[in-house]
Amino acid sequence: MYRLGVLISGRGSNFHSILKSVNSGFITNAEIVVVISNKEDAKGLNIAKENRIDAVFINPKDLSRQDYDKIVADTLIKYRVDFVILAGFMRILSSEFIKTFENRIVNIHPALLPSFRGLHAQRQALEKGVKFSGATVHFVTNELDDGPIVVQSVVPVMDNDTEDSLSKRILKTEHRIYPLAVKLITENRIKIEKNRVICDTEGLDDEFYALNPKEFGR
Ligand code: GAR
């Protein structure tokens, strides 16, 4: 059973969707052992506490990025975490942290990467006038919002969309693809070859094929 550490900065709805998938048995081979936030008032910390998961606020005040990340890494190591799940964690990680958990950090981004990296991805999509956007779960490398892609979802952008309405549409799909990505990774179905994630789909059911239709040849 793999041990997951989740890093958040706010609402924690992606963390919650993964937790629900662990509890429902959709994620079969992992448990969430700790949730860490850089914001004391992050709502996600309450969700953790309500579910009897250790919730840790680590204050970044007066700390360099390296020192802060070292404390976070030491905490994750103390909890014997196998995978680090970034779920709305709004800090850039140091290269030391990324090296410590090489190929074991995943992130979700509210756009179809490599488009619209960085902050306000939904606003960037509206400003560019794209007709489709979506969400991406990817392994974390030293490049911001880069790294091998595990799962993506696509949503249409409507003429009357606001940043808020588009964000809501994307978030709904985030709550489907993040648990799916965590399931695939923790069932050891994933291989990284150069920059590509190759997935063993043997025995996967409708949830997987809803996102990766069979007619596309998977
Ligand atoms: C999500 O939309 C996630 O994709 C985004 O922050 C939100 C967190 O929501 N992450 C990023 O923009 C990272 N670059 P949540 O706290 O409810 O999961």
pLDDT band at 215 (very low <50, low <70, confident <90, very high): low
Residue ending a domain, choose from 68, 102, 136:
102
User: Between residues 188 and 208, which one has the greater pLDDT?
Assistant: 188
How far does residue 203's CA lie from ligand 1's centre (Å)? 30
Contact 135, 148 (CB under 8 A): no
Segment 83-108, tens digit of pLDDT? 999 999 999 999 999 999 999 999 99
For 191-208, the pLDDT digits (tens) are 999 999 999 988 887 666
Number of domains in the chain: 2
Over residues 58-84, the pLDDT tens digits come to 999 999 999 999 999 999 999 999 999
Rounded CA-CA distance 188/14 in Å is 21
pLDDT at 216 over 60: no
157 and 81 within one domain:
no
Q: Are residues 59 and 129 in the same domain?
A: no
Rounded mean pLDDT, 133-161: 97
pLDDT at 201: 86
Q: How far apart are CA 75 and CA 70, in angstroms?
A: 8
Q: Which atom of ligand 1 is nearest to the CA of 87?
A: 18
Q: Verify that 112 and 216 share a domain, yes or no.
A: yes
65 C-beta closer than 6 A to ligand 1: no
Which amino acid type is present at position 177?
A: I
Q: Which of 81, 102, 123 is the last residue of a domain?
A: 102
Is residue 117 within 6 Å of ligand 1 at its C-beta? no
**pLDDT for residue 81:** 98
pLDDT of residue 113: 98
The CATH number covering residue 29 comes to 3.40.50.170
Region 111-115: mean pLDDT is 98
Q: What mean pLDDT value characterizes the chain? A: 95
pTM: 0.95
pLDDT for 212 equals 63
- Same domain, yes or no: 59 and 164: no
Are residue 139 and residue 163 in the same domain, yes or no?
A: yes
Domain ends where: 50, 73, 102? 102
What confidence score (pLDDT) does residue 218 get?
44
Instruction: State the catalytic residues.
Output: 109
CB 13 within 8 Å of CB 93: no
Residues 69 and 121 both lie in one domain: no
Provide the pLDDT confidence category of residue 21 given band limits of 50, 70 and 90.
very high
Range of the domain at 57: 1-102
Cα–Cα distances in angstroms (integers) from residue 36 to residues 8, 79, 98, 133, 191, in the given order: 6, 11, 16, 29, 27
Cβ within 8 Å of residue 73, ≥6 positions away: 96, 97, 100, 101
Chain mean position to CA 16: 12
Rounded to the nearest whole angstrom, what is the distance from the C-alpha of residue 9 to the centroid of ligand 1?
9
97 shares its domain with 202: no
Residues 193 and 122 in one domain: yes
pLDDT at 209 over 70: no
